[in-house]
Amino acid sequence: MRRTRNAKIVATLGPASSDPETVRRLFLAGVDVFRLNFSHGSADDHRARFAILRELEQRTGRPIGILADLQGPKLRVGTFQDGPVMLVEGQAFRLDLDPAPGDARRAGLPHPEIFAALVPGAELLLDDGRLRLVVEECGPDFAQTRVAVGGWLSERKGVNVPSVVLPITALTAKDRRDLALALELGADWIALSFVQRPEDVAEARALIEGRAAIVAKLEKPQAIERLDEIVALSDAIMVARGDLGVELPAERVPALQKRIVRSCRHLGKPVIVATQMLESMVSAPVPTRAEASDVATAIYDGADAVMLSAESASGKHPVEAVDMMNRIIQQVETDPLYRQLIDASHSAARVGSDAAEGICCAMRRAVAVIRAAAIVCCTSSGHTSLRAARERPESPILSLTPHVATARRLALAWGMHSVHAADVEDVAQMSEAACDAARREGFAQPGQMIVAIAGMPFGTPGTTNLLRIATV
């Protein structure tokens, strides 16, 4: 089963999309990677969804990626004695560690790590930024604030602290339990929420021990300040525009999205653009024109994937949302301007890079000159295929790997059609396997040329050093 587009679709499973038939229809409509949101659902819910996806993979014969998205540290206010309270602009409002129900003058905030990081003048955003408080005085167990933007505040609403680095890990106790479950079930990607610094990624990598790849979700201003370091340490990046748009002015998000995509493309790391892409389709059968344009912009920028959240998890039209996203991508990629923009935004490999970079640079040029029907990558770890995807070549990429885990992870990468195949032992076998796979998977016809890249000795990760042009 072959997709006729380069950019991939990530879709979230939830109450509206967890039965086997709906999952099958989502896959047929265009989903490449399924996201399981560990902020919601029980362990049994996630087990059932994993089972459905692996059974679907067996029936279709196409590797399906599964992304387990950890909740991360959720900071929330406490309870209120008499229901929601109205905070009026200019009034004083106290936050403290007292667990007693709050009122219009104070509320509990059971997060001492916030108070440890606050300084006078810092801002606190409540309820997705709808309310804004400015700290006037603070200590290790309290913050006296002034309401800058008022409104109704109900209990357990979220708290964002955009201006300071919080002394908290990106992995809570709940996240560690969820991570253990996700790894036990065989998740291909683990998404880390509220990453602030490279050390957050390093901590997760030590726990995961190579059993899954890491997606760092960028939704904190502090992460943007160390963007290139975080991208370099991660296996992929998610532009999580929801929380990023809460902690930063909305007008800054589009430019940051482009900056993040550009950084990821330069370093050859898959990048997902996420949140509110087709938000109106949670309730409506068609998106707004602005939403369609938003998806298209991510594709024109060369993002590896775009993601659906509530649209597919709890919306009324999950399959239609995937189908619409698929159609938008296909329309963009047939636009002659798309290729021009992809080429114009391509960054050349750095002088002094490794052999894999050199081989893939040569591959990109060779494909353009001979009009190759396909690029075939023989890869063990996926490194060769990801380096090929970084080049954004004109021809589709067929990735052959003996490891099903690698095939599943590569489902996220731009232009990649990943196949679980037997390993090869020499150049002649590689050429034969590449030609056979290109013909069998519908990428090339007899007489057409393909470009094959691999590493010698075969089966050794990270040894990309061979390019071969073959005729099918």
pLDDT higher than threshold 90 for residue 463: no
Of 290, 413, 325, nearest in space to 12 by CA: 325
- pLDDT for position 377: 94
What average pLDDT does this structure show over 180-188?
A: 98
**Confidence band, pLDDT 50/70/90 cuts, at residue 215:** very high
CATH superfamily to which 85-160 belongs: PK beta-barrel domain-like (2.40.33.10)
For domain 355-471, give the fold: Pyruvate Kinase; Chain: A, domain 1 (3.40.1380)
- CA–CA separation, 212 and 190 (whole Å): 7
Q: So which residues are the catalytic ones?
A: 35, 76, 217, 275
Contact 391, 346 (CB under 8 A): yes
Residue boundaries of the structural domains of the chain:
8-73+170-335, 85-160, 355-471
Q: Do residues 267 and 292 make contact, with C-beta atoms less than 8 angstroms apart?
A: no
What average pLDDT does range 226-245 have in this prediction?
95
Contacts of 223 (CB under 8 A, 6+ apart): 195, 196, 197, 216, 230
pLDDT at 136 over 80: yes
What pLDDT is stored for residue 443 in this prediction? 94
Predicted structure pTM score: 0.92
Point out which residues pair with 416 in neighbouring strands.
397
Quick one: which of 259, 260, 220 has its CA closest to 243?
220
Q: Which CATH number fits domain 8-73+170-335: 3.30.70.360, 3.20.20.60, 3.20.20.150, 3.30.950.10?
A: 3.20.20.60
User: Rounded mean pLDDT of the chain?
Assistant: 94
Determine phi and psi for 203, rounding to 5 degrees: -60, -45
Highest mean pLDDT among 110-119, 282-291, 418-427: 282-291
For residues 426-450, give the mean pLDDT.
93
Share above pLDDT 70 across residues of the chain, in percent, rounded to a whole number: 100
Angstrom distance (rounded) from CA 100 to CA 92? 18
Provide the pLDDT for residue 109: 95
Instruction: Look at residues 383, 408, 388 and name the one whose alpha carbon lies nearest to residue 398.
Output: 388
Cis bond before residue 446 (omega within 30° of 0): no
Q: How confident is the model at residue 21 (pLDDT cuts 50, 70, 90)?
A: very high
